[in-house]
């Protein structure tokens, strides 16, 4: 049910993972980092000027270790990752004293080109030399996450909790991964630990609420969604999640209000909230409003199978049987089993 939502306070760390109550936890790490590895250079011209200077040094002394390391960082910052890796490797072979920094920056270059296995190897080299190197531990966890190694991601995050036990984002990320692996009790405990460290962390209340809902503890889920909204009154996902609780308990007016709030506060077109409001309006007998929502949804997400199920139901209620069958069949074509079932039972 979640739309893209950035947890801005922590985008330079591991970055946040998000969950959906009706599906698997959708892990979302934001785009690959674009943070400059040469932050002392603030202008593009400065980078090229320094690169020119370093190249002149290396023309006179091709084994200048500091110049190789500096040029590697500059090349990495410019996106020339393979060439940067060559410079980093030469600096290491020349026994540069800053081995930790070189391994880390070479690992970043691999990470940026999505060569996660080589990145992990370099971050491991950093950790071997400096076991509590938090940045390397974070990047290693990210790499494991990207290759789908959830258990290893949890292990890496666990190392961070040992090195930096007061980091709420670490506990949050562990919670989302435990949720994805259907270990709801551990997920709940991790989110609770994060909230002890950061009591106003609205995203954590929302995700713990999702865990409670998965455990069928709806009262605790409802309370957490309320808290998420209390600490962030524009939190679209929390409104949608609370709306589903209202919908489940047949409080349709409140459900519609929450889905509307979710739609209003989301910067994108929130497909789940639009679909949920369409369903709610359908139940309330507002077929025109329901149809407006679902058509708006399909205008933006033409391959969202669930929406065709909803629109088919609306059309059936409005006695448009051919239109209903057409939509259900479209849902079936998109892989929705419910659409296939409806088509077989109703449209033969």
The model's pLDDT over 50-105, given as tens digits with 9 standing for 90+, comes to 888 988 999 999 999 999 999 999 999 889 999 999 999 999 999 989 999 999 99
10 Å CB burial of residue 228 (0-12, 13-18, 19+) is buried
Evaluate if residue 27 carries a pLDDT over 70.
no
Evaluate if residue 237 carries a pLDDT over 80.
yes
Measuring CA to CA, which residue among 214, 246, 241 is closest to residue 228? Answer: 241
pLDDT at res. 45: 59
Evaluate if residue 24 carries a pLDDT over 60.
no
Domain ranges of the chain: 33-131
The secondary structure of 211-244 as a DSSP string is HHHHTT-HHHHHHHHHHHHHH-TT-HHHHHHHHH
Is the Cβ–Cβ distance between 270 and 236 less than 8 Å? yes
pLDDT at res. 227: 98
Measured at the CA of 108, the angle between CA 181 and CA 97, to 5 degrees, comes to 125
Confidence band (pLDDT; 50, 70, 90) for 158?
confident
Is CATH 3.40.50.10800 correct for 33-131? no
Q: Model pTM greater than 0.75?
A: no
First to last CA, the chain: 32
Is the Cβ–Cβ distance between 64 and 57 less than 8 Å? yes
> What is the CA 171 to chain-centroid distance, rounded?
15
Cβ atoms < 10 Å from Cβ of 144 = 21
For residues 75 and 94, give the distance between their C-alpha atoms in angstroms, rounded to a whole number: 19
Confidence band (pLDDT; 50, 70, 90) for 36?
very low
For residues 155 and 158, give the distance between their C-alpha atoms in angstroms, rounded to a whole number: 5
Model pLDDT for residues 258-305, shown as the tens digit of each residue:
999 999 999 888 999 999 999 999 999 999 999 999 999 999 999 999
């Amino acid at each position: 049910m979640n739309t893209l939502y950035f947890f801005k306070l922590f985008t330079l760390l591991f970055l946040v993972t998000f969950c959906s109550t009706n599906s698997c936890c959708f892990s979302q790490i934001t785009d690959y980092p674009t943070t400059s590895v040469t932050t002392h250079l603030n202008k593009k011209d400065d980078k090229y000027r320094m690169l020119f200077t370093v190249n002149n040094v290396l023309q006179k002394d091709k084994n200048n270790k500091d110049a190789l390391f500096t040029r590697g960082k500059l090349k990495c910052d410019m996106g020339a990752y393979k060439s940067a890796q060559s410079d980093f490797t030469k600096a290491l072979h020349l026994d540069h004293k800053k081995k930790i920094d070189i391994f880390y920056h070479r690992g970043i270059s691999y990470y940026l080109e999505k060569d996660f296995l080589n990145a992990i190897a370099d971050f491991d080299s950093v950790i071997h030399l400096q076991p509590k190197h938090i940045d390397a531990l974070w990047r290693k966890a990210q790499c494991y996450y990207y290759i789908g190694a959830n258990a290893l991601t949890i292990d890496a995050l666990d190392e961070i909790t040992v090195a930096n036990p007061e980091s709420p984002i670490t506990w949050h990320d562990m919670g989302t991964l435990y949720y994805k692996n259907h270990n709801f009790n551990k997920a709940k405990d991790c989110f609770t630990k994060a909230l002890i460290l950061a009591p106003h962390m609205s995203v954590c209340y929302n995700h713990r609420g999702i865990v409670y809902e998965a455990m069928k503890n709806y009262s605790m889920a409802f309370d957490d969604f309320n808290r998420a909204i209390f600490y962030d009154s524009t939190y679209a996902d929390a409104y949608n999640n609370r709306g589903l609780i209202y919908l489940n308990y047949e409080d349709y007016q409140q459900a519609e209000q929450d889905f509307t709030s979710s739609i209003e506060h989301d910067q994108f077109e929130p497909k789940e909230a639009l679909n949920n409001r369409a369903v709610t309006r359908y139940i309330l007998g507002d077929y025109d409003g329901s149809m407006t929502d679902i058509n708006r949804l399909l205008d933006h997400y033409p391959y969202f199978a669930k929406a065709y199920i909803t629109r088919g139901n609306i059309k059936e209620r409005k006695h448009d049987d051919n239109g209903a069958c057409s939509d259900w069949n479209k849902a079936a074509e998109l892989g929705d089993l419910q659409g296939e079932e409806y088509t077989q039972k109703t449209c033969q």
